[in-house]
Amino acid sequence: MNARLLGSALAIVASVTVLLGAASAAPADAAAGGRYAIGDRFDPPGLVDSHARPFRFASLAPHAVALGFVTTACRTGQCSLVTGKFARLLATADARRERLVLVAIDAGTDTPAALARYARLFAGDDRLVFVTGDARTLTGLTRRFGVRADSGALATHGETVALLDGDGRIADLLAGFDWSPSTLQAALDAVARIAYNPFLRALVHLTWSAQRLCGEHPVDSPLALHHAGLLAFAAVPFPVLGFVVARVGRRRRTDRES
Protein backbone atom coordinates (compact mmCIF):
# COMPACT_ATOMS: atom_id res chain seq x y z
CA MET A 1 0.00 0.00 0.00
CA ASN A 2 1.24 3.50 -0.84
CA ALA A 3 2.70 5.03 2.33
CA ARG A 4 0.86 8.33 1.83
CA LEU A 5 -2.47 6.53 1.43
CA LEU A 6 -1.79 4.44 4.52
CA GLY A 7 -0.99 7.54 6.53
CA SER A 8 -4.19 9.24 5.37
CA ALA A 9 -6.26 6.18 6.20
CA LEU A 10 -4.85 6.03 9.71
CA ALA A 11 -5.60 9.71 10.24
CA ILE A 12 -9.19 9.24 9.04
CA VAL A 13 -9.71 6.28 11.39
CA ALA A 14 -8.41 8.36 14.29
CA SER A 15 -10.66 11.30 13.45
CA VAL A 16 -13.81 9.17 13.17
CA THR A 17 -12.98 7.39 16.43
CA VAL A 18 -12.48 10.65 18.30
CA LEU A 19 -15.80 11.93 16.92
CA LEU A 20 -17.56 8.79 18.17
CA GLY A 21 -16.03 9.24 21.59
CA ALA A 22 -17.06 12.88 21.72
CA ALA A 23 -20.60 12.07 20.64
CA SER A 24 -20.94 9.39 23.27
CA ALA A 25 -19.56 11.68 25.94
CA ALA A 26 -22.21 14.29 25.24
CA PRO A 27 -24.63 14.85 28.11
CA ALA A 28 -27.95 13.01 28.06
CA ASP A 29 -30.91 14.78 26.49
CA ALA A 30 -33.02 16.71 28.99
CA ALA A 31 -36.04 14.71 27.82
CA ALA A 32 -34.46 11.65 29.42
CA GLY A 33 -35.26 13.03 32.89
CA GLY A 34 -37.03 10.47 35.03
CA ARG A 35 -35.69 7.52 33.10
CA TYR A 36 -34.08 4.57 34.77
CA ALA A 37 -30.37 4.98 35.41
CA ILE A 38 -27.45 2.68 36.06
CA GLY A 39 -27.57 1.47 39.64
CA ASP A 40 -31.34 1.79 40.08
CA ARG A 41 -33.02 -1.18 41.71
CA PHE A 42 -35.57 -2.67 39.33
CA ASP A 43 -38.52 -4.72 40.53
CA PRO A 44 -41.79 -3.04 39.48
CA PRO A 45 -45.06 -4.43 40.85
CA GLY A 46 -48.08 -5.21 38.70
CA LEU A 47 -46.45 -7.67 36.29
CA VAL A 48 -47.69 -11.18 35.48
CA ASP A 49 -46.16 -13.96 33.41
CA SER A 50 -47.70 -15.89 30.52
CA HIS A 51 -49.43 -18.19 33.03
CA ALA A 52 -51.14 -15.19 34.70
CA ARG A 53 -49.00 -15.64 37.81
CA PRO A 54 -47.63 -12.53 39.59
CA PHE A 55 -44.06 -11.89 38.52
CA ARG A 56 -41.31 -10.04 40.35
CA PHE A 57 -37.76 -9.61 39.10
CA ALA A 58 -36.55 -10.31 42.63
CA SER A 59 -37.54 -13.94 42.03
CA LEU A 60 -34.70 -14.20 39.48
CA ALA A 61 -31.94 -13.27 41.95
CA PRO A 62 -29.04 -13.95 41.95
CA HIS A 63 -29.12 -14.38 38.17
CA ALA A 64 -28.03 -11.65 35.77
CA VAL A 65 -30.96 -10.69 33.54
CA ALA A 66 -31.28 -9.38 29.99
CA LEU A 67 -34.56 -7.46 29.70
CA GLY A 68 -36.14 -6.54 26.36
CA PHE A 69 -39.44 -5.10 25.14
CA VAL A 70 -41.89 -6.43 22.56
CA THR A 71 -45.59 -6.63 21.83
CA THR A 72 -47.62 -9.39 20.23
CA ALA A 73 -49.38 -6.64 18.25
CA CYS A 74 -46.22 -5.30 16.60
CA ARG A 75 -46.97 -4.26 13.03
CA THR A 76 -43.40 -4.17 11.70
CA GLY A 77 -42.12 -7.64 12.54
CA GLN A 78 -39.33 -6.05 14.59
CA CYS A 79 -40.63 -7.61 17.80
CA SER A 80 -40.45 -11.07 16.23
CA LEU A 81 -36.82 -10.40 15.36
CA VAL A 82 -36.05 -9.30 18.90
CA THR A 83 -37.84 -12.33 20.37
CA GLY A 84 -36.05 -14.64 17.96
CA LYS A 85 -32.68 -13.27 19.00
CA PHE A 86 -33.56 -13.67 22.69
CA ALA A 87 -34.59 -17.26 21.93
CA ARG A 88 -31.22 -17.88 20.26
CA LEU A 89 -29.50 -16.73 23.46
CA LEU A 90 -30.94 -19.80 25.17
CA ALA A 91 -28.25 -21.83 23.40
CA THR A 92 -25.44 -19.76 24.91
CA ALA A 93 -26.73 -18.27 28.17
CA ASP A 94 -25.44 -19.86 31.36
CA ALA A 95 -28.44 -21.64 32.91
CA ARG A 96 -26.95 -21.30 36.39
CA ARG A 97 -26.27 -17.56 36.28
CA GLU A 98 -28.36 -15.88 33.55
CA ARG A 99 -32.03 -15.32 32.71
CA LEU A 100 -33.89 -13.63 29.84
CA VAL A 101 -37.10 -11.60 30.15
CA LEU A 102 -39.26 -9.98 27.50
CA VAL A 103 -41.87 -7.45 28.65
CA ALA A 104 -44.90 -7.16 26.35
CA ILE A 105 -45.99 -3.55 26.69
CA ASP A 106 -49.49 -3.32 25.19
CA ALA A 107 -51.91 -4.01 28.05
CA GLY A 108 -54.85 -4.10 25.64
CA THR A 109 -53.62 -6.99 23.50
CA ASP A 110 -50.71 -8.55 25.40
CA THR A 111 -52.81 -10.66 27.76
CA PRO A 112 -51.30 -13.70 29.50
CA ALA A 113 -53.18 -15.96 27.04
CA ALA A 114 -51.80 -14.03 24.05
CA LEU A 115 -48.31 -14.19 25.56
CA ALA A 116 -48.60 -17.94 26.07
CA ARG A 117 -49.43 -18.42 22.38
CA TYR A 118 -46.64 -16.04 21.37
CA ALA A 119 -44.09 -17.76 23.61
CA ARG A 120 -44.83 -21.16 22.08
CA LEU A 121 -43.74 -19.82 18.70
CA PHE A 122 -40.24 -19.11 19.95
CA ALA A 123 -39.19 -21.04 23.04
CA GLY A 124 -40.26 -23.67 25.50
CA ASP A 125 -37.51 -22.92 27.99
CA ASP A 126 -38.36 -21.25 31.30
CA ARG A 127 -35.11 -19.31 31.15
CA LEU A 128 -36.90 -17.00 28.69
CA VAL A 129 -39.82 -15.45 30.57
CA PHE A 130 -42.59 -13.42 28.92
CA VAL A 131 -44.36 -10.92 31.19
CA THR A 132 -47.00 -8.23 30.84
CA GLY A 133 -49.03 -6.09 33.21
CA ASP A 134 -51.71 -3.51 33.75
CA ALA A 135 -51.78 -0.32 31.69
CA ARG A 136 -50.36 1.87 34.46
CA THR A 137 -47.38 -0.41 35.06
CA LEU A 138 -46.58 -0.79 31.37
CA THR A 139 -46.95 2.92 30.65
CA GLY A 140 -44.49 3.68 33.42
CA LEU A 141 -42.01 1.15 32.06
CA THR A 142 -42.15 2.42 28.47
CA ARG A 143 -41.77 6.03 29.62
CA ARG A 144 -38.85 5.40 31.94
CA PHE A 145 -37.03 3.15 29.47
CA GLY A 146 -37.75 5.39 26.50
CA VAL A 147 -39.47 2.66 24.50
CA ARG A 148 -41.55 4.30 21.78
CA ALA A 149 -45.10 3.17 21.20
CA ASP A 150 -47.68 4.28 18.65
CA SER A 151 -51.42 3.81 19.15
CA GLY A 152 -50.94 1.00 21.65
CA ALA A 153 -48.57 -1.01 19.48
CA LEU A 154 -44.89 -0.75 18.72
CA ALA A 155 -45.12 0.57 15.18
CA THR A 156 -41.54 1.85 15.19
CA HIS A 157 -38.92 1.25 17.83
CA GLY A 158 -35.37 0.21 18.53
CA GLU A 159 -34.15 -2.82 20.38
CA THR A 160 -33.81 -1.42 23.88
CA VAL A 161 -32.20 -3.79 26.37
CA ALA A 162 -31.58 -3.42 30.09
CA LEU A 163 -29.12 -5.64 31.91
CA LEU A 164 -29.74 -6.38 35.59
CA ASP A 165 -27.10 -7.68 37.96
CA GLY A 166 -27.57 -10.40 40.55
CA ASP A 167 -28.75 -7.84 43.12
CA GLY A 168 -31.60 -6.66 40.89
CA ARG A 169 -29.96 -3.36 39.97
CA ILE A 170 -29.64 -1.98 36.46
CA ALA A 171 -26.07 -2.67 35.37
CA ASP A 172 -26.35 -1.33 31.83
CA LEU A 173 -28.87 0.35 29.54
CA LEU A 174 -28.56 -0.14 25.80
CA ALA A 175 -30.73 1.42 23.10
CA GLY A 176 -30.16 0.89 19.43
CA PHE A 177 -30.80 -1.30 16.43
CA ASP A 178 -29.55 -4.58 15.04
CA TRP A 179 -27.56 -6.03 17.92
CA SER A 180 -26.59 -9.65 17.46
CA PRO A 181 -27.14 -12.43 20.01
CA SER A 182 -23.36 -12.82 20.34
CA THR A 183 -22.75 -9.18 21.24
CA LEU A 184 -25.59 -9.11 23.77
CA GLN A 185 -24.37 -12.40 25.22
CA ALA A 186 -20.95 -10.88 25.79
CA ALA A 187 -22.53 -7.89 27.57
CA LEU A 188 -24.70 -10.18 29.72
CA ASP A 189 -21.72 -12.39 30.56
CA ALA A 190 -19.83 -9.32 31.74
CA VAL A 191 -22.68 -8.41 34.09
CA ALA A 192 -22.85 -12.01 35.34
CA ARG A 193 -19.05 -11.95 35.84
CA ILE A 194 -18.54 -14.79 33.41
CA ALA A 195 -15.56 -14.88 31.03
CA TYR A 196 -16.58 -13.01 27.89
CA ASN A 197 -15.21 -11.75 24.60
CA PRO A 198 -14.21 -8.12 25.27
CA PHE A 199 -14.23 -7.28 21.56
CA LEU A 200 -17.88 -8.29 21.22
CA ARG A 201 -18.82 -6.43 24.37
CA ALA A 202 -17.13 -3.29 23.10
CA LEU A 203 -18.66 -3.74 19.66
CA VAL A 204 -22.25 -3.50 20.87
CA HIS A 205 -21.49 -0.26 22.73
CA LEU A 206 -19.53 1.25 19.87
CA THR A 207 -22.29 0.38 17.40
CA TRP A 208 -24.87 2.16 19.51
CA SER A 209 -22.49 5.07 20.04
CA ALA A 210 -22.24 5.40 16.26
CA GLN A 211 -26.04 5.40 16.06
CA ARG A 212 -26.11 8.23 18.56
CA LEU A 213 -23.69 10.16 16.36
CA CYS A 214 -26.12 9.64 13.48
CA GLY A 215 -29.02 10.97 15.54
CA GLU A 216 -30.63 7.65 16.43
CA HIS A 217 -31.51 6.49 19.94
CA PRO A 218 -29.26 8.05 22.60
CA VAL A 219 -26.75 5.83 24.34
CA ASP A 220 -26.69 6.99 27.95
CA SER A 221 -24.79 4.03 29.33
CA PRO A 222 -21.64 4.67 31.38
CA LEU A 223 -20.20 1.48 29.89
CA ALA A 224 -20.82 2.81 26.40
CA LEU A 225 -19.07 6.05 27.31
CA HIS A 226 -16.24 4.07 28.88
CA HIS A 227 -15.63 2.00 25.74
CA ALA A 228 -15.91 5.00 23.43
CA GLY A 229 -13.51 6.95 25.62
CA LEU A 230 -10.98 4.12 25.64
CA LEU A 231 -11.16 3.82 21.86
CA ALA A 232 -10.77 7.58 21.43
CA PHE A 233 -7.72 7.53 23.71
CA ALA A 234 -6.25 4.54 21.87
CA ALA A 235 -6.68 6.40 18.57
CA VAL A 236 -4.40 9.27 19.59
CA PRO A 237 -1.19 7.56 18.31
CA PHE A 238 -2.70 6.92 14.85
CA PRO A 239 -2.06 10.41 13.39
CA VAL A 240 1.54 10.24 14.63
CA LEU A 241 1.97 6.77 13.18
CA GLY A 242 0.49 7.93 9.89
CA PHE A 243 2.89 10.84 9.77
CA VAL A 244 5.89 8.58 10.50
CA VAL A 245 4.84 6.06 7.84
CA ALA A 246 4.46 8.83 5.27
CA ARG A 247 7.88 10.32 6.13
CA VAL A 248 9.60 6.94 5.96
CA GLY A 249 7.99 6.24 2.59
CA ARG A 250 9.04 9.64 1.26
CA ARG A 251 12.63 9.13 2.44
CA ARG A 252 12.81 5.73 0.75
CA ARG A 253 11.60 7.19 -2.51
CA THR A 254 14.18 9.97 -2.24
CA ASP A 255 16.95 7.43 -1.59
CA ARG A 256 15.91 5.36 -4.62
CA GLU A 257 15.81 8.42 -6.86
CA SER A 258 19.27 9.51 -5.75
pLDDT digits (tens, 9 = 90+) for 211-254: 555 554 444 444 455 555 555 555 556 566 666 677 777 777 77
Banded pLDDT at 16 (limits 50, 70, 90): very low
Banded pLDDT at 15 (limits 50, 70, 90): very low
Q: Quick: pLDDT tens for 123-141.
A: 767 889 999 999 999 988 8
Banded pLDDT at 68 (limits 50, 70, 90): very high
Average pLDDT, the chain: 75
Q: Give residue 66's pLDDT.
A: 95
Same domain, 189 and 138: yes
**Alpha helical stretches, state H, the chain:** 3-25, 78-89, 112-122, 135-145, 181-191, 198-213, 222-234, 237-257
Domain with 243, as residue range(s), is 1-28+220-258
Same domain, 188 and 96: yes
CATH code for position 91 = 3.40.30.10
- The verdict on residue 211 lying in a domain is no
Same domain, 160 and 235: no
Number of domains present in the structure of the chain = 2
- The verdict on residue 122 lying in a domain is yes
Predicted TM-score of the model (pTM): 0.68
- Using DSSP bridges, classify how beta strands 64-70 and 98-104 pair: parallel, antiparallel or unpaired: parallel
Banded pLDDT at 31 (limits 50, 70, 90): very low
Q: Give residue 65's pLDDT.
A: 96
The C-alpha atoms of residue 14 and residue 42 are separated, in whole angstroms, by: 39
Same domain, 38 and 23: no
For 230, list phi and psi in degrees, rounded to 5: -60, -45
- The verdict on residue 213 lying in a domain is no
Q: Quick: pLDDT tens for 69-91.
A: 998 888 777 888 889 999 999 98
Element (H, E) at 99: strand 98-104
Q: Give residue 255's pLDDT.
A: 73
Q: Give residue 79's pLDDT.
A: 86
Same domain, 39 and 23: no
Same domain, 69 and 111: yes
User: Percent of the chain at pLDDT above 70?
Assistant: 62
- More confident of the two residues 35 and 171: 171
Work out the average pLDDT over 46-73.
94
Q: Give residue 183's pLDDT.
A: 85
pLDDT at residue 102 tops 50: yes
First to last CA, the chain: 22
pLDDT at residue 167 tops 60: yes
Q: Please tell me what DSSP assigns to residue 29.
A: P
Same domain, 83 and 136: yes
Of 50-54, 101-105, 219-223, which range is least confident?
A: 219-223
Instruction: Enumerate residues 6+ apart whose C-beta is below 8 A from 77.
Output: none
pLDDT at residue 158 tops 70: no
Banded pLDDT at 122 (limits 50, 70, 90): confident
Instruction: Enumerate residues 6+ apart whose C-beta is below 8 A from 1.
Output: none
Q: Give residue 117's pLDDT.
A: 92
- The verdict on residue 202 lying in a domain is no
Q: Give residue 112's pLDDT.
A: 95
- The verdict on residue 208 lying in a domain is no
User: Percent of the chain at pLDDT above 90?
Assistant: 31
Same domain, 82 and 118: yes
CB 94 within 8 A of CB 191: no
